[in-house]
Chains A and B, each alone.
Chain A
């Protein structure tokens, strides 16, 4: 059974780069024909798709975040990562890593809260 687990700093200073890693277990990140992605949820608010990376290496990002986001895969560690540059308080959220079919997302990681504050 595929399982995902996010890791990374829980506190990031404004203007710095948010970096998170998702470790995949129960399956190989390089053997999937689907994709890996990130979704975030500000406290008490709704869900927003950040971006995805396909097994081919192609990446797709939400246009509203595209200029600041990079998603990459490390097949040797069975991990994928998120980098969000120039963060502000508006980037404070729970960040989820997800596995996607192309239409839906399942499973999700447990989520990790990242607070942007000095």
Chain B
């Protein structure tokens, strides 16, 4: 099973600043990596797929990069609605076995 490790566990950033979240895979997942945002009491929402493609209606301040084992989610200028928990998720195996990182909580500094 591919293990996804996110860092840091908690990130404190001021509104208007940039946030950089990391996700590492225990083995290469190519570009088969997605990012989700989850707010309290809500289901996760797809932000990024294919490591760098924004999902429908996702603001341009969200960007993803990386391939292989190292991935980054960047939020260029934090808005109040961006403070949430972010998860990365990989798919690179057959038969399918999808795994998620443990999450990074983005909190207001």
Contact = CB atoms under 8 A, between A and B. Distances in A.
Contact of B43 (A62, A96, A101, A104): A96
A110 interface: yes
Interface in A92-111: 96, 101-111
Query: Interface majority SS on B: helix, strand, loop or mixed?
Result: loop
A60 interface: yes
Query: Interface majority SS on A: helix, strand, loop or mixed?
Result: loop
Interface of A: 46-49, 52, 60, 62-63, 96, 101-111
Given A60-B97, A63-B97, A110-B42, 16 more contacts: A46-B102, A47-B36, A47-B87, A49-B99, A49-B100, A60-B95, A63-B1, A96-B43, A101-B49, A103-B91, A104-B46, A104-B89, A104-B91, A105-B44, A105-B98, A109-B43
